[in-house]
Structure 1
Amino acid sequence: MAFVHANSLRFHVQRLPAAVPDRQDLPDGTEGTGRADQPVVVFLHGLVVDNLSSFYCPLALPTARAGHEAVLYDLRGHGRTERPATGYDSRTAVRDLLALLGALGLGRRRVHLVGNSHGGTLALHAALARPDLVAGLTLLEPPLSGAWVENMVDTLSAAALSLEGSPVPAELLGLRLRKAAHLTAIADELLNRTSLIDDIAASRTFTPADYARLRCPLLIVCGEHSELVPGAQELARHATQASTTLRILPGLGHDVLKESGGALREAVLAHLEATAAVTAARAGALVP
């Protein structure tokens, strides 16, 4: 565990160095090179009850074992990161990311962003704001439509009302369910004592013109039964300047990160290798 100060906040960060890959862990036809010039893989988790731990075993450890340096962190207000009253909009999230990379000494390295759910929208915002920095994108169940924003604001508002003054955290502690009590207390603080709901409500939705600006390799993964599939299809349809792959995993809904197992891991590792190869080729082309 490590804490890093960036953009006036203390962030909880986990950094996994690239390991010599075990060839048996890799998809067929891929290689984990561990090159110093390949992108650092940065993981961005979802909203409220999520944190960096959701990525650790399913994707982050396999990523490091495949020869890619990995960085995981709890977003502003989530997990063990500080919880200020404001700053839960996408622009501040991108500033947090850039400041954190600088504090870690990675400001000159390109990154491959892996975002789950709301983390996927933040990754997309970062790629549009800093195309020079983002070498690749992996978006897992990204919520991209205005309808999702409206539904999420309604859901979060209802949850905020149910948690306000609720005895549930204390009851969970009484039952020695400390993890559940801790997550519930964090949710209460985020929803009732910060600007998170208002910031989500005011968030700008993406347009086809935004998608057309993307140039980096892009992997989008959705569950077959997810309501977010149409938005993912629209992104794939308009991101014509990017090398785009849309994977629909059969039998799954929104929670592909927890439920998909090896299929997701293999798709992500293959995409990371392809992005690293493209980045290395472009860097080589720039060398006189």
Structure 2
Amino acid sequence: MAFVPVDSVRFHVQRLPATAGAAAPDRPVVVFLHGLVVDNLSSFYCPLALPVARAGHEAVLYDLRGHGRTGRPVTGYDSGTAVRDLFALLGALGLGRRRVHLVGNSYGGTLAVHAALARPDRVTGLTLLEPPLSGAWLENMVDTLSAAALSLEDSPVPQELLGLRLRKAANLTAIADGLLNRTTLIDDIAAGRTFTPADYAALACPVLIVCGEHSELVPGAAELARHAPRVSAVEILPGLGHDVLKESSGALRAAVLAHAEHVAGAGPGAVAGSGAGAGAWTGALVP
């Protein structure tokens, strides 16, 4: 565990060396990006990050700005700042010249796509777990977060949870309250732009998408798969919704490890169009 200062924000970081022999220096670093508000790096640690490191890939996990144990500035929750945070943090870790394979869960998947579009020279692969990509999701999320903010404002719940010795739940509730009511997070997300087919067509790296069968995000994944030139596969996990990271560790782990090997083998000189091709759907649903 480490705390790394970047542009006046103190980031909580976990860095896992490759343990299945020394990772080749030209292999991309696998960087994990978690979801919004009550999520943090710990959701990746056992299900994916440790297996990735044991398979020979260096891994980096960190709490996003304002989340988990990272500092909580009032502003800077837009996607552009998140992308700058990512690459500034990698630079501070001495990884400023390394290529990266981004694994994003939920909103972390959205940030991963933004990062790949902003820095195609650095992002060599994407693994997107339940990525929210559509404008409809953006509107629904802003409404949900706004309602949650109202319910938490001046709420006695954190203190009541502490009184019941439910310290973890109290801490998560307090973090949510702080993010939703004392930062610009909701406004920054509301002002974010949605992706276009042209954005997806510009993704030059191999992409794996994993969604739950019952997830409302499947149509957005299908849209990306139709336009991105190097979608290796879209895995649809039966019986699940927006909970693939928590509920399908075995199937998910196999898919992520296979894609990590594919991305590592593609090399820095790989060009768009040389992957498996868009529309390589597997699982329970075919669009």
TM-score range, shorter chain: over 0.9
Q: In 2, Cα distance between the equivalents of 1:270 and 1:280? A: 18
The alpha carbon displacement at 1:8 in A equals 2.2
Q: In 2, Cα distance between the equivalents of 1:81 and 1:281? A: 35
1:105 matched residue in structure 2 = 94
1:247 matched residue in structure 2 = 235
Candidates 153, 159, 163, aligned match of 1:174: 163
Q: In 2, Cα distance between the equivalents of 1:43 and 1:69? A: 11
Q: Does 1:88 align with 2:77?
A: yes
Alpha-carbon displacement from aligned partner over 1:31-76 (angstroms, at most 9, x marks no partner): xx72221000000000000000000000000000000000000000
1:278 matched residue in structure 2 = 266
Q: RMSD in angstroms over aligned alpha carbons?
A: 1.2
Q: In 2, Cα distance between the equivalents of 1:281 and 1:216? A: 11
1:147 matched residue in structure 2 = 136
TM-score normalised to structure 2 length: 0.92
Q: In 2, Cα distance between the equivalents of 1:204 and 1:282? A: 29
1:7 matched residue in structure 2 = 7
1:257 matched residue in structure 2 = 245
SS in 1 for 2:267: helix
1:51 matched residue in structure 2 = 40
The alpha carbon displacement at 1:15 in A equals 0.1
Candidates 189, 192, 196, aligned match of 1:200: 189
Which residue identity lines up with residue 170 of structure 1 in the other structure?
Q
Q: In 1, Cα distance between the equivalents of 2:72 and 2:192? A: 20
Q: In 2, Cα distance between the equivalents of 1:282 and 1:109? A: 15
SS in 2 for 1:127: helix
Alpha-carbon displacement from aligned partner over 1:155-207 (angstroms, at most 9, x marks no partner): 00000000001000000000110000000000000000000000111110000
Q: In 2, Cα distance between the equivalents of 1:104 and 1:261? A: 29
TM-score normalised to structure 1 length: 0.92
| 8 Å Cα contact 2:200/2:227 also seen in 1 | yes
The alpha carbon displacement at 1:251 in A equals 0.7
| 8 Å Cα contact 1:7/1:100 also seen in 2 | no
Candidates 174, 192, 195, aligned match of 1:185: 174
Which residue identity lines up with residue 255 of structure 2 in the other structure?
A
Q: In 2, Cα distance between the equivalents of 1:281 and 1:191? A: 42
* Structure 2 unaligned residues grouped into runs of 5+: 272-287
| 8 Å Cα contact 1:117/1:142 also seen in 2 | yes
Alpha-carbon displacement from aligned partner over 1:248-288 (angstroms, at most 9, x marks no partner): 111100010000121000000000001000016659xxxxx
| 8 Å Cα contact 1:41/1:111 also seen in 2 | yes
SS in 2 for 1:34: coil
| 8 Å Cα contact 2:212/2:237 also seen in 1 | yes
Q: In 1, Cα distance between the equivalents of 2:164 and 2:76? A: 34
Which residue identity lines up with residue 16 of structure 1 in the other structure?
L
The alpha carbon displacement at 1:244 in A equals 3.0
SS in 2 for 1:221: strand
Candidates 236, 239, 254, aligned match of 1:266: 254
Which residue identity lines up with residue 264 of structure 1 in the other structure?
L
* Structure 1 unaligned residues grouped into runs of 5+: 22-32, 284-288
The alpha carbon displacement at 1:151 in A equals 0.4
1:121 matched residue in structure 2 = 110
Q: In 2, Cα distance between the equivalents of 1:270 and 1:255? A: 20
Count of aligned positions: 271
The alpha carbon displacement at 1:20 in A equals 1.5
1:18 matched residue in structure 2 = 18
Sort the Cα spacing of 1:280 and 1:126 in 2 relative to 1 into closer, same or farther, 3 A.
closer
